[in-house]
Amino acid sequence: AQKVTQAQTEISVVEKEDVTLDCVYETRDTTYYLFWYKQPPSGELVFLIRRNSFDEQNEISGRYSWNFQKSTSSFNFTITASQVVDSAVYFCALSEAWDTGRRALTFGSGTRLQVQP
Amino acid sequence: DAGVIQSPRHEVTEMGQEVTLRCKPISGHNSLFWYRQTMMRGLELLIYFNNNVPIDDSGMPEDRFSAKMPNASFSTLKIQPSEPRDSAVYFCASRYGRDRPNTEAFFGQGTRLTVV
């Protein structure tokens, strides 16, 4: 069975601080996919990034960066120079190989990030 | 594309009534998912369909819940009879997965259900 753990329930930072959201996953598959979603106060779920298990390259997109480490089963998300608009709940998710037929995403419990002005 | 469309956005109903939530996935997507979000349990998968066929309904809480996907462009989640503990936000999501298996799931805006 697959599992995603986001141990940080809530994080509060002051604007312009850097913040890292942790995600640890468990799966028996050798091929799998990892995702981050953002849920702002308005409630919708917004896709941020996906990563394949065979691609351990880190990625940077503006103020966002992701660190995928297969050896520790972690897929952490860093926001640099945080802004008030980053305040949201962030979810890490995992899905197994497409050809297994198990295509649903398993979500972590989410980390609520509050950025204070 | 308009994205995943869910209706209604909000639903308030009395205990014991039947509730039907609707979802139109993104055209061309062949997997559809129903999730429920509550404070206590977070985002939990209820059921999902591949090519209109239910694959895994182990997340459906009990027999009061049922889901159908009569065609590739429409799905319903029905609760009959509804109970106060069913109050939650229900999300529908769809995903494309033929020649690009690592795609993300796109979520609808959700239906906020309140059972009084």
- The predicted-structure confidence for B34-91, as pLDDT tens digits, reads as follows 999 999 999 999 999 989 999 889 899 889 999 999 999 999 999 999 999 999 999 9
Q: Indicate the average pLDDT of chain B.
A: 93
A5 inside 8 A of chain B by CB: no
Given an 8 Å threshold on Cβ–Cβ distance, is A43 in contact with B48?
no
Q: What distance, in Å, lies between the first and last C-alpha atoms of chain A?
A: 41
Mutation pick from B33, B43, B112 vs chain A, by most beta carbons of A within 10 Å, is B43
pLDDT tens for chain A, 117 residues long, are 789 999 999 999 999 999 999 999 999 888 889 999 999 999 999 999 988 888 888 888 899 999 999 999 999 999 999 999 999 999 999 998 666 666 789 999 999 999 999
> DSSP state, B85?
G
Sign of the alpha-carbon dihedral angle for A112, A64, A93, A49: positive
SS3 category, A106: strand
CB pairs under 8 A between A and B: 55
How many CA atoms, within 13 angstroms, populate the side-chain half-sphere of residue B113? 30
Q: Is B33 within 8 Å of A47 when comparing Cβ atoms?
A: no
Closest C-alpha to A111, from A36, A13, A7: A7
Query: Bigger pLDDT: B59 or B115?
Result: B115
Closest in B42, B48, B103 to A104, CB measured = B48
Contact at CB, B33 and A91, closer than 8 angstroms = no
Task: Name which of B45, B48, B107 is nearest A45 (Cβ-Cβ).
Answer: B107
pLDDT value of position B100: 61
The whole-number pLDDT of residue B1 equals: 65
- A80, A61 contact by CB (below 8 A): no
**C-alpha A17 chain-centroid distance:** 18
Instruction: Please indicate if any CB of chain A lies within 8 Å of the CB of B110.
Output: yes
Q: List all residues of chain A from 13 to 72 with a beta carbon under 8 Å from chain B.
A: 33, 35, 37, 43-45, 47, 50, 52
Q: Please give the distance of CA A66 from its chain centroid, rounded to a whole number.
A: 8
Q: Does B55 touch chain A (CB under 8 A)?
A: yes
Chain A contact for B105, CB < 8 A?
A: yes
For A34, other C-beta atoms within 10 Å of its C-beta total 25
Residue A7 forms contact with B (CB below 8 Å): no
Task: Flag whether residue B101 sits within 8 Å of chain A, measured between CB atoms.
Answer: yes
**Would you call B3 exposed, middle or buried from its count of C-beta atoms within 10 A (0-12, 13-18, 19+)?**
middle
In SS3 terms, B28-71 reads as CCCEEEEEEEECCCEEEEEEEEECCEEEECCCCCCCCEEEEEEE
Q: Do A47 and B106 touch (CB under 8 A)?
A: yes
